[in-house]
Structure 1
């Protein structure tokens, strides 16, 4: 009997998973997956699965960068208004989206089984939600061990970067993490955002104490940062053309304590609304930048 059973073909069964819009039930492991947000795109790439189509493909390469997206992946429109026709033409067997696209979930379901998972929701911890999403997608795509390895690698990286900072004596002063919107206003990352997980793991304080939106940020004027005199400023690229010249003549900038101490650090883009990987990317870039020393300039 054992020989006969061993000779029978095995039908893969992915099972059922609860999600924000109901239950996803699959008979086979998906092969053709479309992702409608960058956190989901990132998660698939980390699992070693290249999506057949993504939303805002070209923007991913500017703002997210890592893990790298292959050139031949199809673009299916924007993240806020993807093309249902373009999605259908790709003949996916799984669509991954988030609650921002909830009104379209029924339409998407007509094209292919749809999994709805949101990293950013009021009252949640983004890194934990992103970890859960990665783990669940690992199960759905039969990549459980890969998901586990990714999370272990991130924790190892965080510990390594923390050791580097501690050995250099650079964990004694908090940081402010910002993106410039113009020469007067920044998006500042709050303690309830994704980046806080990286700061905590690195042993760095977040100088900005106020809770932000459920996306984990607030928009403030440069003058609002001035009271936090002990902080170092970390500017996340990209910045607007001509910003450096505008800041050079701006009293709102030149009188900031971190600027006067030449403790301004500019790093490459890190997507603040992604999954687990931006935490690793930020930890490495931030540690390297702090070890290299700051300036009073923004490029």
Structure 2
């Protein structure tokens, strides 16, 4: 019989068995479905670890935790967080023992995705992929995790702080007249070769935020860099050369005898700058760290050598 009385439909719905409503988030591995906010979270890469810490969430386990302390450093990872193996081969047993209710990983772990899902709901997002935009993807990860963990306001505040920091550092450089010369960002592989950071990498957002031009105009791999010989930098001699630590043992002595190095215009002008390690394959906070350290280094002035 058709019931048309006001409120009848609502009464019928109240009498039906209660059905728990679950939240859903599409991701690279399917759809994440949760019926409650996760509290025990494992991160299988450093970008995810960084994002959780920015949200004020301490993961119950991370991959390669000692490496995080050396390369990423900030936001700081509490000492008590256990290591659950490497980023490329985490221990499923160690993960299961921690009884997580959410695992955050990337596409590199695709072969293990089904096994991870048997342990706990798994969210897959890759900040670094062919044709991707690392900073935009890192923002997406932070905002989505903020939504999953009911920390949306915290995620948005983090992003506002990063943009404010970039603007502040840019004003300092502009006031000093230091924004009109391009920057070449490199890591030394050995005395003859460097990893140079390209416009499609995470570091590009730091340069743009500071009002600086990337001296290297060529796209790199999907990680955002290319490996080149020192001679490849010579055509961009109007730039300043910024070296990211660490450097190979004995490098300064070797470079002092290297014609590839000593004849670079940047070296001859004392426009070589060196800063602490900044993880180039991380999340949004690494942009802020790089921008701050790069600003301080440029304001302090350059030299003709590396340490």
TM range (shorter): over 0.9
What secondary structure sits across from 1:265 in the alignment? strand
Between the aligned partners of 2:241 and 2:261, the Cα distance in structure 1 is 11
Question: Shift of the alpha carbon at 1:15?
Answer: 1.1
- Asked if residue 23 in structure 1 is aligned to residue 31 in structure 2, the reply is yes
Quick one: structure 1 residues 13 and 286, their matched pair in 2 at CA, closer, same or farther if it must change by over 3 Å?
farther
State the partner residue of 2:88.
80
1:178 equivalent in alignment to 2:186:
yes
- Which residue does the alignment assign to 2:225? 217
Q: Which residue of the other structure, out of 32, 42, 45, is the alignment partner of 2:50?
A: 42
**Cα distance in 2, alignment partners of residues 54 and 86 from structure 1:** 10
Alignment correspondent of 2:295: 287
| CA displacement 1:43-83 (0-9 Å, x = unmatched) | 00000000011001000111111101111111011111111
The structural deviation recorded for 1:122 is 1.4
2:166 matches 1:154 = no
SS at match of 1:218: strand
Task: Please give the alpha-carbon distance, in whole angstroms, between the structure 2 residues aligned to 1:13 and 1:254.
Answer: 66
Correspondence for 1:53: 61
1:243 deviates by: 1.0
Partner of 2:125: 117
Cα separation, partners in 2 of 1:135 and 1:14, compared to 1, 3 Å: farther
**Shift in alpha-carbon separation, 1:96–1:13, aligned structure 2, 3 A:** farther
1:190 has 2:198 as partner: yes
Residues in 2 aligned to 1:63 and 1:244: alpha-carbon distance in whole angstroms: 22
User: What is the alpha-carbon distance in structure 1 between the residues aligned to residue 255 and residue 78 of structure 2?
Assistant: 37
> 1:246, CA displacement in angstroms?
1.1
Structure 1 unaligned segments of length 5 or more: list them. Answer: 1-10
User: 1:14 offset after TM fit, Å?
Assistant: 6.6
**1:192 deviation in Å?**
0.5
Aligned-partner Cα distance in 1 for 2:45–2:252: 32
Q: TM-score, normalised by structure 1?
A: 0.95
Inter-CA distance 14–185: structure 2 relative to 1 (3 Å threshold): farther
Shift of 1:12: 10
Which sits farther off after the overlay, 214-223 or 239-248? 239-248
Once residues 241 and 89 of structure 1 are traced to their aligned partners in structure 2, the CA distance between those partners, rounded to angstroms, is 40
Mapped partners of 1:230, 1:281: distance in 2: 25
* Length, aligned pairs only: 289
Take 2:21 and 2:288, find their aligned partners in 1: how far apart are those partners?
Answer: 33
Corresponding position of 1:298: 306
Distance 1:294 1:269, change over 3 A: same
Q: Distance in 1 between matches of 2:262 and 2:94?
A: 49
**Of 193, 202, 205, which residue of structure 1 is paired with 2:210?**
202
Give the alignment's Cα RMSD to 1 decimal: 1.2
Length-normalised TM-score, structure 2: 0.93
Runs of 4+ in 1 over 4 A off after TM superposition: 11-14
Q: Is residue 114 of structure 2 the alignment partner of residue 106 of structure 1?
A: yes
Q: In structure 1, which of residues 244, 249, 253 is the aligned counterpart of residue 257 of structure 2?
A: 249
Looking at structure 2, the residues matched to 177 and 211 of structure 1 have their Cα atoms a distance apart, in angstroms, of 14
